[in-house]
Amino acid sequence: MARVNLRAAFMSGLSSTVTAQQVFTNRVDEVAAFNRSVEGLCRTLDEAEVSPVVDRAQGRRNVLTLYGIGGIGKTALSHELERRLLADAAAERRDDVVAVRVDLSEDGACDIESVLLRVRAGLGQLGSRWQAFDLALASYWARAHPGETLQDFLDSSPALRRASRGIGLGDQITESVRQLDPAGLGGLAGLAHRAALATYRAVRDRVREGRLLADCELFAELIEAEADYETLSYFPYLLAWDLDQLSRRARPARRPTVCVFLDTFEVVNGRVDRTVERLIQRCVYLMPNVLFVITGRNRVDWADSGVSGELDFTGPQCWPNLHFSNDSVEPRQHLVGYLSESDADSYLSEALTRDGEPAIPAEVRRRIIAGGQGLPLYLDLSVSHFVALLARGGQPSPADFGGSFTAVATRSIRDLPREERDLVRTAALTDRVGADMLRAGQPNVPDGSVARFLRRPFLTHDDAYALPYALHAALRQAIAEADRTLPDGWSDRDRGVVAARLLAWLGERLEPSAGRAATAQALESGLRLSALYGVFGDWMARATQRLVEAGQWSELGDGLAAERDGTPEYRAVLAAVRGVQLRRTGRAAEAVELLGGAGEGVRQDGPTAQLVRIHLAHALRNHGDYTEAARIYRDLVGGEFDAVARYWLCDFDYLNGRFGRALDSLREQRSRGPEDEGERLRLIGHIWRVNARFDEATAAYTEAIGLARREDLAAAEAKALANLAQTACWSGDTAAVSDAAARARELLDLVPNPVELVKVRSAEAVAHAVAGETGAAVEAVGATRRLADGIGYRGGHNLADVAQILLAVRRGDRDGARRTRAELDARTRRSGGNTYWVPIATSWIEGVSQAAEHDPGVEWVDGPAVSLGRWAEVASRR
């Protein structure tokens, strides 16, 4: 099929009689394979005694793979298959055929959240009711994205925004929630985070009571599981289940047809780390009633036995059609080959016509075919060269054509005016460009030249992207090679200079208020430029810290060049991200080792070196070395991360009993936002609490709770409630403790934080001990220790020790209290923090005077006699 190529037609000039067409060469075998795959999957589903959605042990027959070298026309083939599928459906007046396209080379496209939402948006064309998936997503979103509405996320990516707005995805999901809980409304499309959490609670409670989707196996397990990517990657099963239900309701009519086109698959199956591929493969396996059409450079090896361990579903029993021995049953794997000579001639004959006849003479076509060997991209460039010669008033001859692909690329560059040659070189430096980005790379090029360049036929355009123009990857590489032979070709230094301009433009357009997705996309593009051309911008270190603080560290930097490549700053940023990954997954010692040598060769007063050091300090702190962490924090005061360093220095002063100094610093600090202010208030509350100034502590925590409620910061509210329970427990008011603990647990059920659960349980242990409820106190102390051991939280044993000492003193067992105090003393001295608990415990065992002498380094707010006197009263209270 052909349609008018407006760009090529424009280039050929007003007086030209040549008509330019965009031609899809009829790859008969591949098109037929696709048609048989659609029919074959439908037949497999109809004939199955048990739906493969339910019977997850059945082998999957829902993947058609079209693979081959770059420039062979795989993306064009994928688009044509999609076009034919939808055109045939329209001709048959079918409204139950859906196509979803995901180009995995797009920034952020490999994110499992984006992939799933793109698929859900496509399925929304079949109807608005996808109850299992929508309710599970609402539950997941409330916990995984506190404070971020689903609609904001949908709008953050142009491709996702276009897909979701077309069917009102946010409204569809909100309606699913409204049908479940009219009062809750889900908070997804724009309501407060608290409403979203209420939705999760409503879903969870109905599931537990067996009143919601009890016939959907594993729905309950997915609702109860942690809200992370691992859990989310199983949600495609829910989409498949919903689609299966829709198909059953449609009978005896024809079942809906859904095809997902995954293009540029080499982005995920060409990596050493196959984590992203595992998540996407899981999606494909769990949706056996959807045909996945995969196009990429590599054969998919899922049916091979040797990849077990890297991927979940492997071997011929899982993918019987993908095994190399299958050469007949569709859907299967196809190597997309070069065009035959007849197909190539048909392509060239139809691409340019004059009065209905081929404009390219037969002898020129033969010359092109001989040089291109059937590579479609080669033919495209040759057609562009023919048009350029016509536009200059010349008569193209066979001598003007042929040669290697690089030679053709060289001619394509030479055909352009000087300004456009620089523009095409600029476009070849990065994956995607836009007009403003090109102007930034070439500030002296006139706007008219930019506009003309963007109409060139070798550029693809897709307004689903923020940067809508792209050169084919093979052409980008060929241009870089060809440019070295041209008289005005760029040197490596020239490329570096332009790459630096592009990098600076990316940083300048990234506003401080930019959302998470925009920041991540800019940083990914910047890191690629840095890896390839040896450039770097300080904004990249700041953007990295912003994403880490937002919790987006798990996928950051994934798939980029190894750390030994690129500039020292580039390597340092990747090391910082890797350090965060290690620390957040409980491998603090490995993080310390990695980050300790990551700043070599980096300017020490710059943001990148400070980024590495702030995360080294965090890793040291997690590893129990408070002293060395504090030394680094002190070095970072006044630098890029001044506010973070000052806060943790205040925390270090608090841990070591320098209460007055910590209070003075906290009162002087200016918070960067509500999260910072909440942390500041809670640390002030900690200081008052360990000085037995319980009223002031309660006031600080109450203010922190109010702030968290106003700002919809559920995690921060849970922490402040746990601290409030830790304060109320010293009064022996078990009712007050129970109330604060219950409210904290309710939120911690939604935004899990096991450390805070340890604190809540220790508060209950103290409250029981103060109230003289020995049995309940002993049980709570044991539970505190078990929880602390379960998560590797050493500080949890300090809290358990304090409760156990108090319980022993109240029971008259002072020897037992002394033994536990000795363990507490040794543990806190090793860690370099929390040592103030030993004199507090001593005030209960030996009296205030001996307690004051035990650790004279503690700077009690009201002096040792008064502060420890208040603590002594706690043990004597009846």
Which position has the token pair 């034919």? Answer: 84
Residue 626 has pLDDT above 50, yes or no: yes
Q: Say yes or no to pLDDT of 561 above 60.
A: no
**Which pLDDT tens digit goes with each residue over 86-103?**
999 999 999 999 999 998
Mean pLDDT of 447-462: 84
SS (H, E, C) 623-643: CCCHHHHHHHHHHHCCCCCHH
Model confidence at 108: pLDDT above 60: yes
Q: Which uninterrupted H or E stretch holds 504?
A: helix 492-508
In a domain, 19, yes or no: yes
Residue 693: predicted pLDDT: 96
Distance CA 469, CA 452 (A): 13
Residue 434 belongs to a domain: yes
For tokens 């900690």, name the residue: 686
> Do 776 and 843 reside in the same domain of the chain?
yes
Which residue type does 73 have? G
* Higher-scoring residue by pLDDT: 799, 413: 799
pLDDT at 2: 30
608 and 721 housed in the same domain = no
Taking 80 as the threshold, does the pLDDT of residue 13 lie above it?
no
- The span from the CA of 556 to the CA of 576, in Å, is 11
Name residue 39's amino acid. E
Q: What pLDDT, in 10s, does the model give residues 635-653?
A: 999 999 988 899 899 999 9
Q: Which of 253, 270, 292 is the last residue of a domain?
A: 253
Q: Which of 436, 464, 490 is the last residue of a domain?
A: 490
Contacts of 332 (CB under 8 A, 6+ apart): 33, 64, 65, 321, 322, 326
DSSP-derived letter for residue 311 is B
For residue 188, being part of any structural domain is answered with yes
Question: In this structure, are 782 and 869 located in the same domain?
Answer: yes
Query: Which pLDDT value is given to residue 14?
Result: 35
Residue type, 785: R
Residue 813 forms part of a structural domain? yes
Task: Specify whether the backbone of 71 is left (phi greater than 0), alpha (psi in -120 to 50) or beta.
Answer: left
Q: What is the pLDDT of residue 825?
A: 92
Please tell me whether residues 605 and 672 are part of one structural domain. no
pLDDT digits (tens, 9 = 90+) for 691-709: 999 999 999 999 999 998 8
Digit-coded pLDDT (tens) for 180-204: 766 544 445 544 556 667 777 788 8
784 plus 811 within the same structural domain? yes
Token pair in block for residue 648: 């943790």
Give the span between the Cα atoms of 517 and 327, in whole angstroms.
42
Distance (Å, whole) CA 480 – CA 430? 12
Task: With cut-offs at 50, 70 and 90, classify the pLDDT of residue 462.
Answer: confident
Residue 137 inside a domain? The answer is yes
First to last CA, the chain: 91
Please say if the pLDDT value at position 588 is more than 80. no
* Number of domains within the chain: 6
Domain boundary among 623, 652, 685: 623
Structure tokens at 611: 């980024």
- Give residue 149's pLDDT: 78
pLDDT at residue number 558? 56
* Average of per-residue pLDDT across 396-419: 81
Residue 645 structure tokens = 């360093």
Domain of 861, CATH number, reads 1.25.40.10
Contacts of 14 (CB under 8 A, 6+ apart): none
Our CA dihedral for 320, 326, 332, 337, rounded to 10 degrees, sits at 150
Length of the chain equals 878
CA distance 380 to 746: 62
Confidence at residue 34, expressed as pLDDT on a 0 to 100 scale: 94
Among the listed residues 594, 568, 569, the one whose alpha carbon sits nearest the alpha carbon of residue 582: 594
**Torsion angle of the four alpha carbons 761, 765, 766, 772, in this order, in degrees rounded to the nearest 10:** 150
Q: Say if 517 falls within a structural domain.
A: yes
Share of the chain above pLDDT 90, in %: 40
- For residue 226, the one-letter residue type is E
Strand partners, 3: 22
Judged by DSSP in three states, 750 sits in coil
Separation of alpha carbons 70 and 59, rounded Å: 31
Q: Which residue has the higher pLDDT, 204 or 4?
A: 204
Element (H, E) at 224: helix 219-224
Same domain, 132 and 194: yes
Question: CB atoms < 10 A from the CB of 642, how many?
Answer: 13
pLDDT of amino acid 191? 45
pLDDT at 493: 92
Span 312-367, pLDDT tens digits: 888 999 999 998 778 788 999 887 776 778 778 888 888 888 888 888 999 989 88
- The answer to whether residue 632 sits within a structural domain is no
**From residue 256, how far is each of 32, 95, 641, 727 by CA, in Å?**
20, 9, 54, 59
433 close to 531: Cβ distance less than 8 angstroms = no
Phi, psi of 430 (to 5 degrees): -145, 170
Digit-coded pLDDT (tens) for 655-687: 999 999 999 999 888 777 787 899 899 999 999
Q: Domain check: are 561 and 500 in the same one?
A: yes
**Helix axis angle, 814-831 to 795-810, nearest 10°:** 160
* For residue 841, pLDDT beyond 80: yes
Mean per-residue pLDDT over the chain, rounded: 84
Q: Check whether residue 730 and residue 838 sit in a common domain.
A: yes
**Using CA atoms, how far apart are residues 615 and 642, in angstroms rounded to an integer?**
13
> Quick one: 33 and 147 in the same domain?
no
Same domain, 787 and 669: yes
| 2-4 sheet: strands from edge to edge | 2-4, 18-23, 352-354, 357-358
ω into 182 cis (within 30 of 0): no
Considering 70-74, 265-269, 692-696, the range whose residues carry the highest mean pLDDT is: 692-696
- Residue 563 pLDDT: 44
Calpha distance 288→52 (Å, rounded): 6
**Tens digits of per-residue pLDDT, 593-605?**
999 988 888 898 8
Expressed as residue numbers, the domain containing 445 is 404-490
Asked whether residue 74 falls in the same domain as residue 124, the answer is: no
Task: Let me know if residue 638 belongs to a domain.
Answer: no
The conformation of residue 730, written as its DSSP 8-state character, comes to G
Residue 49 shares a structural domain with residue 147: no
